[in-house]
Structure 1
Amino acid sequence: MAPDIAATLAAIDAAHALDPNKIERDGQSIPYELHYAEKCTQYLEKHTSSASPLLQVAVRAQHFRRWEVPRDSYPRTKVGYFAWRTGLKKRQGEQVKEICLQHGFTEEQADKVGKLISKEELKKGEGKGDEEAQVLEDVACLVFLDDQFDTFEREHDEEKIVDILKKTWVKMGKRGQDLALQMDLSERAKELVGKALAE
């Protein structure tokens, strides 16, 4: 039985729609994680129009039920932050793998989606990682710059923001970096990106 991609994406979106956090978009209030997932899909299409169905599912689900594990459920320290992120990725990968198995994916296919979401196959150091994992990482970075950066920037000092931008840039592949340079960013964002890339 072939995977039912449409039904899988519908199940993922149904979960996104339960997010109690809302965002105003085009005069309507919608769940934030549904908005985020749609943004991710839009950037995936710009980045890799021929993305595999497994990558499409992973990109759509990378923040799956994230609101259920708030940042404050872990210590407000650097170690606590990384523990929160690591726990989230593992949890999200496992949950979406189960949805995939319910919709006709083989164990291998569902496992691949879960590993993409948990980012187990990103390149480490000089090693070559999974190309689809890099695409997913690019998409996440692009959505951050497009949808979250201006709010984030107002909450932190310039030195920290420039450092985050430098780290974000290094995470991205060449295709992701090229798309980032083409984005219609705010003037403040352009200024900070310029400082990050000049260092």
Structure 2
Amino acid sequence: MNSISFQKATASLKAAHLQDPNNELEGSKLVPAEWLYTQRLLDCLRQVYPDASEALTIAAYCQHLYRWEIKRTEYPEGRIGYYQWRNYLGDYQAGKAAAILQASGYSDDFVSEVVDILKKLNIPRLDDAQKLEDVVCLVFLEHYMQDFMQGKPAAQLVQIVQKTWNKMSDHGHHVALQLNLPESTHRIVIRALG
């Protein structure tokens, strides 16, 4: 993965993530939120799937590409509004990713492969799409679940963990059970699996 295209693409994708106007505290430093998310995905990918393909690695870089530009608040509340937002966002991000990858010199076939992984199309057929889904779920549980829990009833959180669990492979489940989760998150996970 030391090709010129890979180097160009990852540099461009990092530059895009660094434009995120939303910041999160990482240690004592403020970091653009989507760049921090991307770093967490890549770290998880290296640990869980150290043999990840180039297309899968690039898809991980693209996972939340320009996410801040399409605000959830621009869509109606509730499940229907959520899915409208998510579907539009998926197409929007895939288009942005494709443009960056093409400008970096990748072939149309490679770009299509990355977009399929990114959009998680036909997960039973695409092993890399399932691997990306595993990594996304693991990063959510480890880094974002705790804050997400605030103000939500336990029953709703149990359902969310169950839905997250159902998206993961057996290998993803095995890794998830080894995570060092905060006690409150761990309790919800155990209850969801009970």
TM-score using structure 1 length:
0.94
Deviates more, 1:49-58 or 1:3-12: 3-12
Instruction: Confirm or deny that 1:71 pairs with 2:66.
Output: no
1:165 match: 161
Which of 145, 152, 168 does residue 149 from structure 1 map onto? 145
State the alpha-carbon separation in 2 of the partners of residues 150 and 107 from structure 1: 40
Q: Distance in 2 between matches of 1:7 and 1:121?
A: 28
- State percent identity of aligned pairs: 32
Moved over 4 A (4+): none
Q: Deviations over 1:42-96 (max 9, x none)?
A: 0101111011111101011110000000110110121000111111111111110
Distance 1:136 1:170 in 2: 14
- How many residue pairs are counted as aligned between the two chains? 192
2:89 is the alignment partner of 1:88: yes
Letter in 1 for 2:183: E
In structure 2, the residue matched to 1:108 is 109
CA distance in 2, matches of 1:78, 1:166: 17
What is the distance in 2 between the residues matched to 1:106 and 1:15?
21
TM-score by length of 2: 0.96
How far the C-alpha of 1:3 sits from its partner, in A, is 5.8
What runs of 5+ residues in structure 1 fail to find an aligned partner? Answer: 123-127
SS of match in other structure, 1:49 = coil
* Contact 1:89-1:119 at 8 Å conserved across structures: no
The code of the aligned residue for 1:24 comes to L
1:118-129 correspondence runs (5 A): 118-122=119-123, 128-129=124-125
